[in-house]
Structure 1
Amino acid sequence: MSQIRDLIFSNGERYPILMEENGLPNYWVTLYVTEKLRTSHTQSAISNSLGHLIHLKLWENINDRNLVSEFEQGRLLNDEDVYSIRDHCTLDTRSLKKWLKTSEKTVVKFAAASTASVTPIQKVSNDHASNRMSQIASYLEFLARTILKTKLIEEEVSNNIEAMKSLLLANKPKGSSGKGLTADPNTKAPPPKAFERILSIVKETSPDNPFKGEEVKFRNALIFEVMEATGMRAGEILALQVGDIDFQRATVSVIRRHDAIEDPRKKQPVAKTNERVIPVTKALTDRVRKYIMEMRAEIPTATKHPYIFVTHKHGKYHGSPISNSTFVNRVLKPAVAIHPELLEEITRHGFRHNFNYKLSKKIDEVNQAAKEDSKANPINEKKEIQIRKELNGWSSDKTAETYNLRHIREEAERVMREDMDHWTNRAKKDK
């Protein structure tokens, strides 16, 4: 089965590549990535695209098709093929592979078929299926035009390729398009008390702390504290370097360093938003200093790179910057498992929403104080959006508004309840 591997070039560039079972890269997919994606897409975006093309190859295997061979013969996708690919794109890849593997091993007699247990194939969201169709349409257009490049002088050939792409795009499932409650990430975000609880769990002195070793306990507690205080993405925290902390001014800087030569990780954690400087408490930067000077400094290999958070487990990766998979499986999941009924909805991104929720509360406090003190300046809506954009590294006002929806809904509910209470009391008095 095809697999995605990440290469690191001498200049630090990360290059995801699709490897076949024979140990060689897939020629056509590699050509597509090199010509169409490499110059404009990040490592993560290219990997996502390769995942979509693996799903297309799975469709070819299931239907005993070879699109390269068919395109070479001038046979493009017909309507039925497009509908089949559309339906295939709604299925979860892992679930489908598992179902196919089970189906190959299990032979059910006809008489018993009606009572045989069948595990349903899980589906992906419409947005995910839509992204798949878009990437597949782009790839197949490239494939057809490259294979048939000598025939493109014929207007009919070029038009047929364009028609195939248009039909694929026309059959994309309709996503949420950022509308409605289902598209609002705040609706599924855990309540503020969930974040308070997880911070209490990971404190190095907590009896519920699931981690072993004083250094690991301190490191993990510090990671959660930085997430809570800054709203930074996990990738941004894993990419923090010693020089990004200003211990005198008590600030943390988020710097974009894509394809960094000094980063040994094949999947490099990077900043996805704009660079920014975030003010924090002196107490937090003091704890960062303590970790760097008293724990990280004790590992000789850790001094060979500038990344703050490192692996403390002895072995091959001792002292190396911790990877994204390590953070998810060895830091986040063990903490969530302590109180799953409350914390299971917590994700790394959830801290970002919680950060903005607390920011809204703080702005409310400032504006309330301004009402009571004529000399104080309130924060209007325009200024609030600018503050939010600056602290989160956003360019769009719309994104800033999205992260404030939970607070807006709370205020709307409060006003409605006050209004209902007013009329209820009024009705009682009239009696």
Structure 2
Amino acid sequence: MKRYKWNKKTFFAIVDKFSCPVDPYASVYLNTLTHFRLSTQSRYGGELLFALKYFNSKGIDLTERAVSGKLLTMSEYTSYYEHSAKNAGHSSNEKVVPLFANSEDKSLRNILASNTFLISKVSNGTHRGRIHRLRMYLNWLFEQFHDPISVRQNIEDQLNKLTMKMIADEQSLRSKEDQQTRHPEDDAIPPEIFCKMLEVIRPISPNNPFTERNRLRNYLIVSIFLDTGIRRGALAKLKCSDLRSDQSGSSLWIYPHHDDSSDPRHERPNQKTKSHLANLKPELMDTLLFYIEHVRNEVPGALNHDFIFVSESNSRGTQGQPLAAKSINDMFLTLSKVLNHRLHPHLLRHMWNDIFDDKADYQNSTSGWIEDARKYAMGWSANSTMTDTYNDRRTHKKVRQIMQKHQDMVDAN
């Protein structure tokens, strides 16, 4: 998959070794996805590339099939479904333990075969994405060559049958790993881990795992996540001009800006939800301004752009450039090792919601106000149902409190 720029915009194409598009329809389809973030476009392109490689290895031209109306058979799709559950580099002919390949013990052979499959298996999310991308591409191809009014009924029936099978498979892959697994009353981060994180991330902490030049920057990143609940992409694209401070307080202007031409990063981060102001504690704003003036602006190359957080090392020639989203992930991996607990940026977004719930309950705020305030702070639309995920925790605690009060009354009587 090749990334290229035209008219200051980034595009993707699936090409051969001579950088020529392997199928113009695949390139056109990828260009219909430009309203997504670049990282999302790249992921969708990778999923399509995986499908095209597989069918090419089987001598199947998906475009030709769509033109002729001879769609994938159930057998052909089932073979792809099984293949898409494996790592991209996995070969079905590989033997993990050839020493026991000819073992006469059938149970041992079954165990080895099962182990080989588990080693090569991808996550349900990856598997589901590959199925979903093939379905979307096949339906898009069908629309390019067949008029919905004049298309033969048997061809449309075949497509509908195949589509329904793929949708059912996608839904079956929404397993426990995609669902919320923590108890409704549990915090996103256990209290003891949370307190330790707050201590470790302080720039003067003897347990801080980062180099001195990165400590203040990393402290601010964690603190802003906790103070605002914004996403990783929104933080990575923050600019000095996005800071707001007036009589009403301090805040950050969070807004979507697809494919910002002033951003030199290959993977340009973006805010995927609607624009809003994220409130910031005055003390944190003061620290952020100190970082910009006395740390960031002293890094060579940082004054060439307006992005707040920059790379302070030059190991890959990126000193002074805007901090990559991947570097933020790496920072959290380092912090996770110190805390012996897996942390990631989105977990702090969940933690912000937990803290928000506790504060709202303490102030006896109404459920309607809490829901509206949460939608604004998270950048969700008025019709979003995302609040249900977080409201469950507060509802569960309320139910427990009511039942506990009732039980106390019964016991007293």
> Using the alignment, how far apart are the partners of 1:24 and 1:105 within structure 2?
40
> Using the alignment, how far apart are the partners of 1:328 and 1:404 within structure 2?
28
Instruction: Tell me whether 1:365 sits opposite 2:359 in the alignment.
Output: no
Cα 1:386–1:201 shift into 2, 3 Å: same
User: 1:425: how far off?
Assistant: 5.1
Instruction: Tell me whether 1:414 sits opposite 2:401 in the alignment.
Output: yes
> Using the alignment, how far apart are the partners of 2:205 and 2:392 within structure 1?
33
Instruction: Tell me whether 1:326 sits opposite 2:321 in the alignment.
Output: no
Residue matched to 1:47: 42
Q: Deviations over 1:353-387 (max 9, x none)?
A: 111111111111211xxxxxxxxxxx322222111
Counterparts in 2 of 1:171-210, with a 5 A limit?
171=165, 172=167, 173=169, 175=171, 183-184=179-180, 187=183, 189-210=188-209
Instruction: Tell me whether 1:225 sits opposite 2:223 in the alignment.
Output: yes
The TM-score with structure 1 as length reference comes to 0.80
Residue matched to 1:137: 135
User: 1:137: how far off?
Assistant: 2.0
Q: Deviations over 1:160-204 (max 9, x none)?
A: 553343223211225389999963376594334433322322211
Residues 2 and 12, structure 2, Cα contact 8 Å, conserved in 1: yes
User: 1:62: how far off?
Assistant: 6.1
Residues 10 and 261, structure 1, Cα contact 8 Å, conserved in 2: no
Residues 198 and 336, structure 1, Cα contact 8 Å, conserved in 2: no
> Using the alignment, how far apart are the partners of 1:250 and 1:385 within structure 2?
23
> Using the alignment, how far apart are the partners of 2:313 and 2:75 within structure 1?
54
Residue matched to 1:385: 371
Residues 204 and 218, structure 1, Cα contact 8 Å, conserved in 2: yes
> Using the alignment, how far apart are the partners of 2:96 and 2:19 within structure 1?
25
Matching residue within 230, 233, 236 for 2:234: 236
Number of residues of Structure 1 aligned to a counterpart in Structure 2: 396
Cα 1:186–1:98 shift into 2, 3 Å: same
Q: Deviations over 1:317-359 (max 9, x none)?
A: 0000011111112x1100011122xx21x32111111111111
Counterparts in 2 of 1:10-409, with a 5 A limit?
10-11=7-8, 13-27=9-23, 28-34=25-31, 36-38=32-34, 40-60=35-55, 63=58, 65-68=60-63, 75-89=70-84, 91=85, 93-94=86-87, 97-98=89-90, 100=92, 102-103=94-95, 110-111=102-103, 115=108, 117=112, 118-119=115-116, 120=118, 121-125=120-124, 129-144=127-142, 146=144, 155-156=151-152, 159-171=153-165, 172=167, 173=169, 175=171, 183-184=179-180, 187=183, 189-212=188-211, 214-248=212-246, 249-315=249-315, 316-329=317-330, 331-340=331-340, 343-344=341-342, 346-367=343-364, 379-395=365-381, 396-409=383-396
Secondary structure of the structure 1 residue equivalent to 2:14: strand
Residues 276 and 390, structure 1, Cα contact 8 Å, conserved in 2: yes
Cα 1:9–1:411 shift into 2, 3 Å: farther
Residues 229 and 348, structure 2, Cα contact 8 Å, conserved in 1: yes
Cα 1:420–1:58 shift into 2, 3 Å: farther
Q: Deviations over 1:110-135 (max 9, x none)?
A: 4579556442232533x665554333
Q: Deviations over 1:134-171 (max 9, x none)?
A: 3312212333565x57x999743xx4553343223211
Cα 1:52–1:181 shift into 2, 3 Å: closer
> Using the alignment, how far apart are the partners of 1:269 and 1:210 within structure 2?
26
Residues 7 and 266, structure 1, Cα contact 8 Å, conserved in 2: no
Secondary structure of the structure 1 residue equivalent to 2:215: helix
Residue matched to 2:3: 6
> Using the alignment, how far apart are the partners of 2:177 and 2:151 within structure 1?
46
Give, as a single letter, the amino acid of the residue that structure 2 aligns with 1:226. I
Deviates more, 1:72-81 or 1:356-365: 72-81
> Using the alignment, how far apart are the partners of 2:49 and 2:351 within structure 1?
36
> Using the alignment, how far apart are the partners of 1:359 and 1:302 within structure 2?
35
> Using the alignment, how far apart are the partners of 2:67 and 2:130 within structure 1?
24
Structure 1 gap segments, 5+ residues each:
368-378, 427-431
Secondary structure of the structure 2 residue equivalent to 1:285: helix
Q: Deviations over 1:241-280 (max 9, x none)?
A: 0011124431111122211111001111100111111221
Cα 1:297–1:366 shift into 2, 3 Å: same
> Using the alignment, how far apart are the partners of 1:47 and 1:185 within structure 2?
29
Residues 274 and 394, structure 1, Cα contact 8 Å, conserved in 2: yes
**Fraction of identical pairs, as percent:** 22
Give, as a single letter, the amino acid of the residue that structure 2 aligns with 1:244. D
Residues 7 and 14, structure 1, Cα contact 8 Å, conserved in 2: yes
> Using the alignment, how far apart are the partners of 1:122 and 1:254 within structure 2?
38
> Using the alignment, how far apart are the partners of 2:173 and 2:380 within structure 1?
19
Say what the alpha-carbon RMSD is for the aligned residues.
Answer: 3.3
User: 1:422: how far off?
Assistant: 4.2
